[in-house]
Every structure is written in C-alpha cells, then in structure tokens.
Copies of this chain bind each other. A is one copy, B any other.
C-alpha cells in the first residue's frame, strides 16, 4: 500500500496516540486477519528519520498466532529478520527457532507474535538510521496492522535498544518490555569495535569486492559476540601449513564470514551497525515495566551498563543477570535460561493465557 499523505513520528507526545492517518492505513488492507495462524506482508509509508529527513520506506512484517491474542513484538540483533521460526505458512527455520513455536516460550497458540525486517535491512536505505527511527517505524507498522498496544516487546541486542526507544517514545502502546543484552547506550569500546568492522567493509570496497570486507567484518563481530571461555573450550590446535600459521578458530570464522556475506547487503550491515552506535536515551524517560536481562560475560554490553539502566528506569523494573560462556550471544544459545525469563514475563504475568 502507499499513502497519499506521509506518516510522521518524531515526537513521543504524538506517537502515544494513533497517527493522524492511521485509519487510512488500517482500513486499506494489511490489518491483521483474525483466525489466520501466520502470514507476511509489507507496507509502504513515509517516515521522518531523525538524521536523514523524510523518506519513503517499505516495512516487511510477519506474524504468527491469531490476531485476537495478546500481541508481542519480537526483535533480535541487526542480522535478525521477520521470520522468527518455522510456521504453517513458512516452513524454513527462523532466527529464534529455539524460543518460538508451539509449547515454547513465545507461543503462537497464546500470543500473536509480530516481527519485521529492520528498516535498512534490504540495503535500499543508504542513510543514517537511528534506533529511534526503528521504534517509530514499528509504531507506524502497528497502526497499519490495527494493533493498538503490545502485550510485550521482546528485544535482544539491537532489538533491546529499539525496545527501549519504543518504551520511551510510545509508552501507551506497550505493557511491558523484555530487554535482553542491550541497553540505553552503546558502550564506547563496543562502538570502536563496530567502527573497525565498518572499516573492514570499506577496505574491501576499495577493490570493488565488498564480500571479502563484509566477511572480515562479520568475523570481527563474532569475536565480540562470543567469549574467550567458549573459544578455549572449542579450539586449540595451531598448525603450520604452506608456510603460514593457521589458528584453530579459522575454519569456524571462515564459515561465519562466508555465510553472512552471501546473505547480507553491505549497505545494510553498515547502516545497522552505525545505528547501534547511535543508541542514546535517558532511562528516566521510560515508565513502563521492563525486565532487563544481562550476561556477565558479555563483551559488548557490560553488566555495569545493564545495572545502571535498571537503576534509572522509572517503571516496575527487574534485572536478571545470567552467566554464559556465549557472552553477547546468550540470547541465541542459552535456550533454557532465556526461555525461563520469557515464560515468567509473558505467561505467568498473563494468567488468562497460562494453562
């Protein structure tokens, strides 16, 4: 669909109420159909981006679970996307297969799970994208889908940052936020690490071969996501072959780099990586219930930042600190611990849907 008039969403005050043109949108087709287990769609709209001005964008969304159920928006890291898990319509595995599905913590039998491809994920939007822009895009998407308020926003990594922006800018549309491994700011050390990843892409681009640069960037990112503890347990052999030293982790890193480079437009990586570094909000501006989940070994999001966030939030706040050799990637790998937190937040707090 396209709109005759732009939708703007720059001010928290305006965004707590439906957009001026929300009716136009939701009546024109994408409103979530009741009784349909899963589906996908896209909406075109115009957003006023914080740094890049007014832009036409396409938001690609997916849902799983009947629209009559409480809505939960689910967002992951910058390489995550709208397809959370295999469902009746789309059988391929999703990025959060371990947590999403019948009987799992995020269950389409009890909730309507919503998700989208990040603004910028298609590589078509080569501009500076703020995490606040993502939050506003989600609010506009909810308008388009006729979803007034979310039972919960579950965000991990970049998704947690965007969730915090959503909570700050659109509080009336959110009952609770679960923010896993992402806080109110980008840590300066983590930002430096990402800046060097972007430089690897730029170095590759100098020779018109962005895939090598993007693969290296991904490998650097993987190091930041994981921990010395995990690498020590997994890799040890260093070998000398063909006059070069090859360390134990290189096969794994080769695999990670090649897979990512084959799936990801370099522009999407660059703009979403930058976007993480723009995260900056005052936790005091958030007054909804937030569960902050942090991991002791996270090398990108120090636990100290999660503690500071939890202390400064104004609504009902819980802080849950996990131990995991997977560091920042614990949200993907610590299935039981993360699942337990999600169940506690979504099911126990929602008696009408807990069996």
Contact = CB atoms under 8 A, between A and B. Distances in A.
Interface residues on A, range: 35 or more
Interface stretch (A12-20, A142-150, A247-255, A314-322): A247-255
A274 interface: yes
A127 B243 contact: yes
A188 B243 contact: no
Contact of A223 (B187, B196, B204): B196
A79 interface: no
B247 A280 contact: no
A52 to B, nearest CB: 8
A276 to B, nearest CB: 9
A61 to B, nearest CB: 26
B245 A192 contact: no
A191 B228 contact: no
B228 A216 contact: no
B216 A128 contact: no
A89 interface: no
A233 B175 CA distance: 36
A219 interface: yes
A344 to B, nearest CB: 30
Contact of A220 (B51, B206, B212, B220): B220
Interface of A: 51-52, 127-128, 186-196, 199-200, 203-204, 206-207, 209, 212-213, 216, 219-220, 223, 226-228, 231-232, 234-236, 238, 240, 243-250, 253, 274-275, 277-278, 280, 299, 302
